[in-house]
Structure 1
Amino acid sequence: MTMVAAADISSQDELESMRETFGEDFSMLAELYLADSPKRIAALREAAAGGDAAQAARVAHSLGGSSASIGAPALAAQCLALEQDCRNGALDKLSQQLQNIETAYKHLETKIRGMLQA
């Protein structure tokens, strides 16, 4: 699975489509995503720092699912790749993967906040 550059994340999201699909509920879902994701990223960083591959895989799975649900398939794919690597014991790329996820999330957060203010 190839890693997607953070700069490409915003061009590959489906946020507008999801906003149309969910209508007025999109704002609530987006707020929940923005409130929850930083906690998951912090938990992912903590698990990675502690070498807890099983916990990192669980958190990556959860973050990936919520990212897919909000309309961020590229970020979801990055989470899936990290989850699979953790489950396979391939932790050599974990730090770089986590950094890529954090960068991608920051881009998405900026876009979502802009959408919510519009």
Structure 2
Amino acid sequence: MHKFKSAPMSRSEQATTMAVEANAGAVGEDELESMRAMFGEDFAMLAELYLGDSPRRIVALHAAAAADDAEQAARVAHSLGGSCASIGATGLKELCQTVELDCRAGNLDKLGPQLQAIESEYAKIELRLRAMLQA
């Protein structure tokens, strides 16, 4: 069984989580700003859609992981990654791609730390987008 854990992580799991988060990089402010410049007035609507939809996709990703449903997890990760790309959240998109590829390969062992990294990166993106919307 490959159920992800919400309990304390082992040193190995902590190392994996830290490596995944390090690879995600900082919130791509330049990329978010580029998307805002490209979309102009429509950026606010796109950001609101992203902020409204992404948490549901993250919940769906957790549900697929809890059910050991690699196929569904891969689909949700792909969908979330596409949304991230459309808003300019490249680091989060890359995390989603990693999850998608691992799930398609049937490798759910790293899913717990990967989901934590996705949540962490999403929280950063959310804060940045909300600040941009209020500016």
Interval containing the TM-score (normalised by the shorter chain): over 0.9
* Structure 2 CA distance for aligned equivalents of residues 100 and 12 of structure 1: 18
Residue 13 of structure 2 is matched in structure 1 by: none
Aligned length: 117
Asked if residue 93 in structure 1 is aligned to residue 110 in structure 2, the reply is yes
Asked if residue 112 in structure 1 is aligned to residue 129 in structure 2, the reply is yes
* Structure 1 CA distance for aligned equivalents of residues 21 and 90 of structure 2: 11
Equivalent residue for 2:84, pick from 61, 67, 70 = 67
* Structure 1 CA distance for aligned equivalents of residues 67 and 37 of structure 2: 41
Larger Rg: 2
Q: Which runs of 5+ in 2 are unaligned?
A: 1-18
Q: Which amino acid counterpart does residue 79 of structure 1 have in structure 2?
A: C
Q: Go from structure 1 to structure 2 and tell me whether the alpha carbon gap of 1:107 and 1:63 turns closer, same or farther (over 3 Å shift).
A: same
* Structure 2 CA distance for aligned equivalents of residues 85 and 104 of structure 1: 19
* Structure 2 CA distance for aligned equivalents of residues 100 and 115 of structure 1: 23
Matches for 1:45-56 after TM superposition, within 5 Å: 45-56=62-73
* Structure 2 CA distance for aligned equivalents of residues 12 and 28 of structure 1: 18
* Conserved? CA contact 1:67–1:76, under 8 Å: yes
TM-score, normalization: structure 2? Answer: 0.82
Matches for 1:23-38 after TM superposition, within 5 Å: 23-38=40-55
Give the fraction of aligned pairs with identical amino acids, expressed as a percent: 62
Q: Which runs of 5+ in 1 are unaligned?
A: none
* Structure 1 CA distance for aligned equivalents of residues 111 and 26 of structure 2: 19
Q: Deviation of residue 39 (structure 1)? A: 0.3
**1:38-82 residue CA offsets vs partner (Å, 9 max, x unmatched):** 000000001001101100000000000000010011110100000
TM-score, normalization: structure 1? Answer: 0.93
